[in-house]
Structures are given as C-alpha cells and as structure tokens.
Structure 1
Amino acid sequence: MTLLAILLGTLVAGIGSVWVAAWLSFGVLSRYTQHMLSLAAGALMATAFLHLLPEAFESEAGAHELFMSLLVGLVFFFLLDKAELWHHGHEHGHGPSQEDHSHAHAHAHAHGHSHSASSKDGSNRGQWTVLAGDSVHCFGDGILIASAFMADMHLGVIASLAVLAHEIPHHMGDLVVLRQDNSSRQAAILKVSMAGAITALGGAVGYVLVDALREWLPFFLVVASSSFVYVALADLIPQLQKRLTARETAAQILWLGAGIGMVALVSALAGHQH
C-alpha cells in the first residue's frame, strides 16, 4: 500500500507539474514567447540558488564536498554541451564556419528571431543538459517523497503537492529551452514528461534503499542545480544580452524577476509546510 501511494504521489508530482507548466507556457503565456526566455532564466537560477542548494547545504554533508560536486557538475554539463555541439558539427562538417554561424546567430537575434534557421547549429544547446539535470533532480524528488510517505502517509501527500508546486515554474523554464531547437510543443512536453517520470523511479528505489540513499540526496540536489545554473548562464542569459530600448530592457528585467519570484514564492510555501 505504501509503495502504491509512493508511485502515485511521484507520478502526480513529476508528470502533473510538467502538464501544468505546459498549459501555462503554451496557453496562458504563449503570446509572450520572447519574454519566456527571461522567465526561464530567472526560474532556473532561482530553483538552483533558492531551493536546491539551500536544501543541500542544510544537510550534514560537508560544504567542501558539496562545492566540489557543484564544480564537477558545471564542468560535466559544459563537456556534455561541447560533445553535443561537436557531434552536430561533425554531422554537418561541410556547413558554415563558426565565425559565419556566430554572425548569423547575432544577426537573427538582432531582428528578434530567436528560433530562426540561422541559429540551427546551436539549436540543441542546453537541451540535453536540461534533461540530464532534470532526471537527476526528479530522481532526488522521488527519494524525498518516498521518505515522507514512509514516515507518515499524510506527510507524503503534502510532500508530493509541494514538489508539484515548486516544479511548475522550473518546468516552464525547461520547456522554453527545449523549444529553442524548433521542435514541436508535443515533443518538448514528451521529453520533459519522460524526465518527470524519473520521479517515480526515484520513489521506487527510495522505498527499497531510502536509508542508504538519504546520505546521497544532498549531492543529487547539487548536481541538479549545476545543470540549471549552467543552462541559465551559458545558454539563456547570452540570448538576452543584446541592444534593446529602455522599455524592452525593463520588460526583460521584469520577466526575469517574475521567474525568480515564482520559485521563491513556492519554495517559501513549501518550507512552511515542512
């Protein structure tokens, strides 16, 4: 019965949050596509700095080991990104040079076409980094939910709802990143949903090995946070660094703040429930 409750709670939290995020991103906020980049950057950074890292450092794990894990995570996702770009360039070895691509990429952004074909060489940038970080994060969430259910059924329900709530703004950021490669909305939702389903795997593994895995949970949180920080700073923020009018800059900052504010709010509410 406990295992069934864990699986149900993790699926609702992991996949339900993706569907709510998709409804918001592609429904209510679909008219603000350009601003969603700012929202995504704010949400990803806030998830890392206001939720994952504080939770990791509140554990008994040593600060030195956690910072080392953060550094290794950032380097790992940088190399993952490089490998993806190298693989893409290898497949299109007779394409335009990097300098031509950089010029075309900048030219496209100057005209507000962030999804144009001219930036196709960098289209997968950040996508696999987000999905890898998402999977690690969701696995950790599954262990958290399993731990809560094994302590008390009511606490497990609250933990599942808390995870669902704090994942919504984060998954909104994920969907924006995945849409950068011109993939369909359905493909983006499916990819993030598959990563969200890892929450159930974490719950099942946590049910069996919760005591052993609890010690590793802070490191799961740090590695996941490193992926979100990397994508925000290496992929999203550079796309926002272009010449804009004062009004456009103010809107950009407002949406960036909205992304941070959403995560801060749900993290605060989740903290009150613990």
Structure 2
Amino acid sequence: SPGCPCAGVGMTGQSLLFLTTLALGLVGVAWGAQPALLGRGAAAAACRLDDNESESWGALLSAERLDAWICSLLGSLMVGLSGVFPLLVIPLEMGAALRSEAGSHRLKQLLSFALGGLLGNVFLHLLPEAWAYTCSAATGGGGQSLQQQQLLGLWVIAGFLTFLGLEKMFLDSREKDCPSQISGYLNLLANTIDNFTHGLAVAASFLVSKKIGLLTTMAILLHEIPHEVGDFAILLRAGFDRWSAAKLQLWTALGGILGA
C-alpha cells in the first residue's frame, strides 16, 4: 500500500523464503527416500563415463584418426609456411628498397594486388554464396541466383572503391605522431587468429575425408597467397626488415597448428 512501502518487499521476501524452504524440503525427501538408488545411479553413471571416455580415446587414437591428425597438422603447417611466399616474389636486393621512397610504388602495387584478391574473395565468392543460401532457405528455393548475388557484390565493391577514392581526394594533411610498428603488430595478431581458423577448417575437413581435406587445404593456400603478400607488405611498411617480417609470419603459423 502507499502508506507502507515495505509491505510489498515483505510479502516478496516471505514468498521467496517459502519457495526456498519447499524446494529444500522436496530435495531432502527425495534424497532420504532413495539413497541406495542414487548411489547405484551415480556408480553406474561413473562406469558409463569411464567406458565412454575410454572408447572416445580409443577412437581418437585409432589408425584412421591418427591419419586425420597427421594430415591436419601437415596441412596447417603448409598453410602457415605460405607466409614466406613473399620472399620468393620480392627479390633479396629489393628488401631494403621497398622501405625507401623509391620503392614505395612497388610496395603499393603489392598492397593493391592483395587488396584486389581479398575484395574479390569476400564480395564475389563468400558473401554471394551466403546471401544466395540465405535467400533460398527463406523463400523455399525461390531466391535470387548466385549470379545475381555476385552482381550485388560487384555493386558493393564499386561503392567501396568510390568512397575510398573520395577519401583519398580529401586526405588530412596533418601529420600524426604514432608508433609506426603498431599496424604491423595488429596485423600479426589478426593473422594469428586467421591461421587458427584455417587450422580448424583443415582439421574438420580431414575428419570428413582425405579428399575433402586436400581440397580445403589447396583452397586455403590459394586464398592465402594474396593475403600473405599483403601482410608482408604491411609489415615492411610498418618498419620491419625483410627477414624479421618473414620470421614473424612463420610465428603466426603456430596459430594454425593450434587450431588443428
């Protein structure tokens, strides 16, 4: 009531106390009525758990599973070693030149190549397939085709590049004091997480079959080529030398092995 603000609180507290007491009483009755049954059930559950655990470990360490383990680790290692691919693209004498003003044009070309590969992969392959599947599931198979979704992806890329061009036309001329290697370290963190997901995908594919595992590994390798070139160029632009960038790229391969 308005005259007694504590009445509702008191009634709520009494209700909670009553329900708690009732629940504890029911649990006590059930526990006291069937102690032997609970003991036998717990023992049986423990035995079943031990049996299931031994069976799962046995299945995991069987010859077929060991095959999947080995293939998954090798596939993830191959994907991780693709991080040194830019060393084959960039000549040894160009390593220091890319960090200078004269080599900045070559560095921008590498970044443009990587950006084009990633944009095409996202907006012309991954997202159109996801959109087409979502529309097909929502409309019972009457959604837009994959070609129509790819056209939509092209429009998204066109809009993205248009606004990027506008941003480049109106650059902020003020210089900002910030550590040059921060972008490189952020890129390494993102690459480690990316390799971890690649390891998950490779291992899951080899668990299905060797054929699917090999196809998935090859697809990830083809996707990683422009990705690693872009990562390498970002590290060089952040101030790392050629060999330091390659070694750091190899360290990120541990994420793929951990994922597998």
TM-score after normalising by structure 2: 0.49
Larger radius of gyration: 2
TM-score after normalising by structure 1: 0.46
